Structure 1
Amino acid sequence: MMTSLRQTAPRPYRWVILLLCWAAFTMTSVDRATWGPAAGSVGKDLGVELTALGLFATTYYIGYVLSNAYGGFLADWLGPRLVVGVSILLSGSFMLLFGEVHSQGLGMLFQGLVGLCAGAEFGGGVKIIASWFTRERRGTAMGVFMTATSLGLVIANAIVPSMIQAGSWRTSYHLFGFASIAIGILCLVFLRSGPADGEAEKQPRQLPNLRPLLRNRNLLLLGIAGFGALWGTYGFITWANLLMVKGVDVDPVQAGGVLVIFGAVAIFSKPLIGIVADFLKIPYRMLIIGILAVFGATLLLFSCASGIVQFLWIAPILGIAAYVYSPLMIAMIPNFSGEQLAGSASGGVNAFWQLGSTIVPAVVGMVFGATGSFQMAFFTLAAGPLLAIIPMLAIREVPKIHAATTGSERASATNN
């Protein structure tokens, strides 16, 4: 039954599924990226010192890591539709509450709760997309899906600074909170699993067996590599705006413009890298290694810039390198784990990746606070992607397996 279902012609509804998952991921990305341009105003309003602002981002990422870990597991157990819809609905609700806080303690609490809900969406989104798109088209699908992170950055940095100048940082949290809730409701109504997973959902629910994932060498190495890569990406997203303002005296609106360009180029480059890799059948691993090398080198180049014109010239290259590895890494996960455990694998691996996002805001804050050096802060960021090349070199590509192969068989093949 599964073989015949997987060999049928692609269904047009898969694009509706991809659009909904992309919209949900975009809003969680907007929610996360809002902190960067809002941090200075929030700090003044709540009386938070500059060096302590990184703790707000770290609190968010602690929740985000935990929700990735349990969200993927719940997607394999309870179904991805429920997990994606409830995740974005609750994260939007806590965004609204954060917009109402007047103390540092409550602010950190609600930041943590936003992260604790938002990350659950990722594993469910990857699982449901993998159930609708074959392995040969997952690079393209994940490329579209992953434009959400860069688009979220563009939206936040294009809107939030102007909202702050016109009124208050609170308005942006209210706006994005309501938008997240609306998308969560749409996902609950219209999402459904693909043909093969749809048949599986008719069976009694059973707890996923995670043992094959724990023995999977490729997933472990991919987790380590993603940790270093996201160290650079989200460290830049969290601190670049404030570092340009405080370290090089760039105007806040102009600094936001640099981040807009940084994120905008990735919107087009992410699907393009997936299309190119799928069409030319280039091994994902080799592409990722090259991208990480360019990413680290460009962060070092950014650290040497001293004015807005130089930042604007470097931003497009940095934006491409800081993002295009991600759809390729994510497309590799279901290939290593099999579709049956794609939610747990995606959530677990991304949870480990996000540890880099969790630690880096506080580390960069301490480095900049101790040295006052713009350059040292960016050296710290560049270390992540450059070191990530080492585990990528050790990954073994998994050969394509017949469509009827089960998830457990694919995981077994990966371990051999």
Structure 2
Amino acid sequence: MRDYSVSPSVEERSRRRWVVLLLCWASLTMTSVDRSTWGPASLQAGEALGVSLAGLGAFATAYYVGYVLSNIGGGMLGDRIGSRVVLSGSLFTAGGFMVAFGYVPSAGAGIAVQALIGLCAGADFAAGVKLIASWFPDRERGLAMGVFTMASSLGTMIANMVVPRLIQVYDWRTSYHLFGVVSMVLALVCLALLRERRGPAPVRPPPLRDLLRRRDLLLIGLAGFGGLWGTYGFVVWSNTLMVTGHGIDPVAAGTVVVVFAAAGAAGKPVIGLATDLAGRGRKRPAVAVMIAFAGCLLVFGGLETQPAFLAMAAFAGLGAYLYTPLLVAMVPSLSGTALAGSAAGAMNALAQLGSVAVPVVVGAVYQMSGSFTAAFSTLAAGPLAGAVALSFVREAARSPRPQPAET
């Protein structure tokens, strides 16, 4: 069998690690696009499949159930057999089921296929974290994870820009066929070009219960739960709340969400690089970002006009996304590189439960109260609680940056 692990020189490693980062980023971007396609396609797909407006949420729920499960299993599998194979296989099979979803004849079949897309797509996150952690030392992981996690923001932007136009020219099924094929082609590129970095022999991942007993990793997962409660609650509900709560034009409301996501995408590598250069830890900046995000959500809930929403969107977007690369970069330092995939998968699965729960809770609050402010106050509770959980984390010591040799 061909050995894909390598032991490159310093110069080769410096070049190759950026290729690894680029491919991991591209893979996560495509699975994020795949996940985000349902939003802009849902109304047309629901009409074609005979699904009521209230029933459209079942498709997203099915996806996230599979996604959470695959984060756990994919992370452990990557530690056992190698992240290169897991990442490529995750992207390829998710793309295949995207294509299949474009042919589903009924709502029941569609919900089942959405669950399969999520079950395949979630494994690439943990695999990407493991690959990046093995190629980038701790002192440089902030920037690397910032670039990597840009993918979630970009996926939302790409899907919302491309899918409506494809529907205008073709139909909703075309978007699933297109993104599915692109995902499968990219998976083959990743399989050909990605390389594992030779390190310690593969280890048997500990049982999930053992990972969850590690106090600091559990607290990071809970912090992520609170952060994603606010982030994905905003993504799912802000458009509808602006339209129904204040009569904002749907196109203008969509523009607010695009600005929100764009600010987060631009800010992730910046904060990652800043914490790398500062070398003073990532916990405190992440806590500060979460507290600021909670404040932005409270302010947003008190606004009433489209210009005000648009002006606040960029600040809210920075708060909603900048904690992500900091939390992700902390995980390998606490778990060790050998178990980075298992730890990242388990922590992301715990964090993503916030994405699963918040749409239902905020919807219930808004339905009972009819209050725009109450809905956003509910969103703000998530990152505030996340900041409290994160404040108790005992961050691993950072390795010093190498000093230049004296001449």
Answer yes or no: is 1:97 the counterpart of 2:97: no
Q: Which TM-score applies when normalising by structure 2?
A: 0.90
How far did 1:63 drift? 0.8
Deviation readout 1:183-225 (Å, 9 max, x if unpaired) = 111111111112426xx3xxxx653234763442110111111
Which residue of the partner structure matches residue 376 of structure 2? 378
Gap change, CA 1:178 and 1:320, over 3 Å in 2:
same
**Segment of structure 1 superposing worse, 127-136 or 260-269:** 260-269
Distance 1:253 1:166 in 2: 19
Which residue of the partner structure matches residue 155 of structure 2? 152
**Segment of structure 1 superposing worse, 90-99 or 345-354:** 90-99
Which residue of the partner structure matches residue 260 of structure 2? 262
Q: Where do 1:373-412 residues align within 5 Å?
A: 373-400=371-398
Percentage of identical aligned residues: 50
**Segment of structure 1 superposing worse, 170-179 or 19-28:** 170-179
How far did 1:154 drift? 1.1
Q: Is the 8 A contact 1:37 1:241 kept in 2?
A: no
Which residue of the partner structure matches residue 272 of structure 1? 270
Letter in 2 for 1:341: L
Distance 1:25 1:314 in 2: 28
Letter in 2 for 1:135: D
How far did 1:324 drift? 0.6
Distance 1:187 1:330 in 2: 22
How far did 1:238 drift? 2.3
Q: Where do 1:225-240 residues align within 5 Å?
A: 225-240=223-238
Distance 2:175 2:40 in 1: 11
Q: Is the 8 A contact 1:37 1:256 kept in 2?
A: no
Distance 2:255 2:180 in 1: 23
Letter in 2 for 1:174: H
Gap change, CA 1:172 and 1:376, over 3 Å in 2:
farther
Q: Is the 8 A contact 1:89 1:185 kept in 2?
A: yes
Gap change, CA 1:282 and 1:169, over 3 Å in 2:
farther
Gap change, CA 1:387 and 1:7, over 3 Å in 2:
farther
Which residue of the partner structure matches residue 207 of structure 1? 204
How far did 1:227 drift? 0.6
Deviation readout 1:325-377 (Å, 9 max, x if unpaired) = 00000000000000010000000110101111111222233333444443333
Answer yes or no: is 1:40 the counterpart of 2:37: no
Distance 2:70 2:87 in 1: 12
Moved over 6 A (4+): none
Distance 1:243 1:166 in 2: 29
Q: Is the 8 A contact 2:265 2:321 kept in 1?
A: no
Which residue of the partner structure matches residue 4 of structure 2? none
Q: Which TM-score applies when normalising by structure 1?
A: 0.88
Answer yes or no: is 1:88 the counterpart of 2:86: no
Which residue of the partner structure matches residue 75 of structure 2? 72
Which residue of the partner structure matches residue 194 of structure 2? 191
Gap change, CA 1:111 and 1:377, over 3 Å in 2:
farther
Deviation readout 1:82-115 (Å, 9 max, x if unpaired) = 1000101111111222222343222221221111
How far did 1:177 drift? 1.4
**Segment of structure 1 superposing worse, 159-168 or 75-84:** 159-168
Gap change, CA 1:96 and 1:248, over 3 Å in 2:
farther
Deviation readout 1:214-269 (Å, 9 max, x if unpaired) = 44211011111111111111122223333334443333333332222111122221
Distance 2:171 2:286 in 1: 40
Which residue of the partner structure matches residue 16 of structure 1? 19
Which residue of the partner structure matches residue 413 of structure 1? none
Task: In structure 2, list runs of 5 or more residues that go unmatched.
Answer: 1-6, 402-407
Gap change, CA 1:380 and 1:170, over 3 Å in 2:
farther
How far did 1:296 drift? 1.1
How far did 1:401 drift? 5.9
Q: Is the 8 A contact 1:33 1:237 kept in 2?
A: no
Q: Is the 8 A contact 2:145 2:272 kept in 1?
A: yes
Which residue of the partner structure matches residue 405 of structure 2? none
Alignment: residue pair count: 393
Distance 1:379 1:48 in 2: 31
Which residue of the partner structure matches residue 117 of structure 1? 120
Task: In structure 1, list runs of 5 or more residues that go unmatched.
Answer: 404-416
